[in-house]
Amino acid sequence: MRNKWIVSMDDYRVASRKRLPKMISDYLEGGALDETTMLANEDRFNALMLRQRSLVDVSDMNTSTTVLGHSLALPLMVAPMGMLTIFHPGSDPAVARAAARAGSIFIHSAWAGCSLEEVAGVAPNNLWAQVAFWKDPGETASYIKRAGAVGVETLVVAGDVGSSSKRERDLHHGLSMPPRPPVADYFNAATRPGWLWRWLTGRKMTYGNYEINGRPLRMDEMNSWMASNKNPGATWEQFAKLRSEWCGNLVIKGIMDAEDAVRAVEEGADGIFVSNHGGRQFDSQPATIDVLPSIVKAVGGRAEIYLDGGIRRGHDIAKAVALGARAALAGRPFAYALATGGESAVDHAFSILHDELKGAMGFVGKTSVASLDESIFVRNTHAYAPESALV
């Protein structure tokens, strides 16, 4: 499907299914266990009703903002996503270039399929780096040193990966490392010749953010590497130590509780990602938009707050900002676009969301991001709204 016939993120989701083998599209779309949290992220956004205003001059619309002093054309960044290469060989560099053109920021995943250095080469001024506290402190220290060497000014600590949960769609497809899919999946993959051709001739699928003996970590080596390096014992002490050593901005991702948000501020966090990992790690927890107001209140302006999870429309961005987020983040929508049409489709996805944001701001009578507040919501107790939006 050509970009011009795609007008929404859901169009990209549907189109990506036609481009990807089912085992890969299920990996992209799926969540943990019953996927309750994953679905709630979107449902709770959709339940928030907006208040239309009339005869407001919205001719001078400004969607720009800043995050940690960095200017954005709109309050939207790309959430860290691992293994983008399995969707399209353009991988992280393609999404990073599109983010830079859109005036956004790309956050490079600690589980990426290509190196931080490669991404820094194409979007040096629009790049944050996610860091994991690996069991071997040397691995973590080496990565942080690499980030500093390529000019990264903001590190994003992965705080929600100490434990993991079943993703049953993946288990049904045998998506381990290396994958061991059932025979039916081989036949299904054969019906996606474009994906197969790119897989055979394009960028090699590696765990390319890390190396063994000077070469990128191969997919078949990932399980053993992770078994040796995953660190369920990471604590706030490691975060505090990193804060004392890192001179740039420090952000923590995976905060879903006001108490943890306060602790993050006390330990020196400059920014807090309200994130439940898109429902991929832990099921049966609230949607991110549900917990955002309590975290904003607890932090009290001492750190910037970003919201990740459930962003599918431009008006979702407006809702997140109105409830106290400095910016929103999206992951899956950009992966859907990448899988469908590569880099140009990611450009188009940014354009769609930006246009939708401007439309939403116009209807609620707000001409700047800074003016978005709880007054944009319908005060109607028959529709869901955060408690703070009803008083």
The DSSP string of 177-235 is: SS----HHHHHHHHT-HHHHHHHHHSS--EEEEEEETTEEEEGGGHHHHHHHH--TT--
Give yes or no for a cis peptide into 178 (omega within 30° of 0). Answer: yes
Q: Single out the residue of 311, 353, 334, 344 nearest to residue 81, CA to CA.
A: 334
Find the catalytic residue in 88, 277, 348, 354: 277
Crossing angle between the packed helical segments 22-29 and 183-190, to the nearest 10 degrees: 100
Residue type, 375: S
Nearest-angstrom CA–CA distance, 66 and 369: 10
Helix spans in the chain (H): 9-19, 22-29, 36-46, 91-101, 116-122, 137-149, 168-172, 183-190, 193-201, 222-229, 236-245, 258-266, 288-299, 314-322, 332-363
Distances (CA, A) of 204 to 19, 22, 109, 114, 217: 19, 20, 18, 9, 11
Q: Is 277 a catalytic site residue?
A: yes
Cα–Cα distance, 137 to 231 (Å, whole number) = 10
Q: Where in the sequence numbering do the catalytic residues fall?
A: 277
